[in-house]
Amino acid sequence: MSIIRNILKNSRSEEDGNFFLKLKVILGFKPKSKPLYLKAFTHRSMNIRDKKGNAINYERLEFVGDAMLSSVIAAYLFEKVPHGDEGYLTKMRSKVVSREHLNELGKDLSLIDLVQSRIPKSNFGSNIHGNLFEALVGAIYLDKGYKTCEKFIYRRVINPYVDIETLEGKVISYKSLLIEWCQKEKNTFDYEVYEDTGKDELKHFSVKLSINEKVVSKARATSKKKAEEKASKRAFFAFQNQITKLI
C-alpha cells in the first residue's frame, strides 16, 4: 500500500489537502487508508501502475462497491418487505442499484469534481458518476469494514432515496418491460435499427418499433441502445393501461 501511496502522492501533490477535506464531508468520517480513496478517484487515463505492473485506478473498486451495494440493499429489502418473493425483491433491488439511479447519486455528491484524469471532464459519459459512487463504496468497505460501509449506504442511498411505494412504480428499462408484456400477451415485436447520421457531428441511430407488424413508435439517439430505449418508452405510454400491471 505504501507503493500506491507514493505513486498517487506524486501525481496529486498539493491537491491532496482539498481532496480529503471534500471527501470527509461526503463520507461523514475521517478516512483511515487514504490511498484507497485516491485510487477510487483515479481514472484509467492516468495510466498509473505499481511495481508489479498492476493498474492503479477505480475500476477494481467498482467491482467491490457493486457487490456491497447489492448486499446491503438486499438485506434491507428482505427485512422491509416480508411479503415479497424472490422475483419481487430482485426487481426492487435492481431499481435501487440501476445505472440511472447510481448516476444520480454520484451527481448529487459531485463526485466527478474529485476525479483525476487526463480526459477533460466534459468528455465523460453519464456513467462516470455511478462508477465513482461504486468505487467509493468499495473503498469504504476495504478501509472501514462492513458496518461502516452499511451505515454510509443507509445515509446516502436508503434513507434519502429508497421509498417502497415509489420504487414499485419506477421503470428501469422500458424495453425490458415492453418485451415482457409482448411475450406475455403473445404479441410479436421488432426493433428495426439503422444508422442515421444526417448533418450531426456525432453518429446517430434511428429505430422503428413494430408490434404485431405495425409501427408504434420511432426514436433517434447516439447509440442503438439509447434509441431502442427511447422508442420503447414512447410505445409504453401508447399501451400504458395494458402494461402498468407488470410494473
Q: Given 62, 66, 150, 228, which residue is catalytic? A: 66
Angle between helices 127-144 and 99-108 (to 10 degrees): 80
134 is catalytic: yes
Q: 33 in helix, strand or coil?
A: coil
CB contact at 8 A, 133 and 115 = no
Grid coordinates in use for 189? 415485436
Q: 207 in helix, strand or coil?
A: strand
Q: Given 15, 85, 134, 190, which residue is catalytic? A: 134
Among all chains, which residue has been given the C-alpha cell 482539498?
18
Closest by CA to 5, choosing from 36, 51, 47, 26, is 36
- Give the contacts of 55 (CB within 8 A, at least 6 positions apart): 44, 48, 49
Q: Enumerate the active-site residues.
A: 66, 134
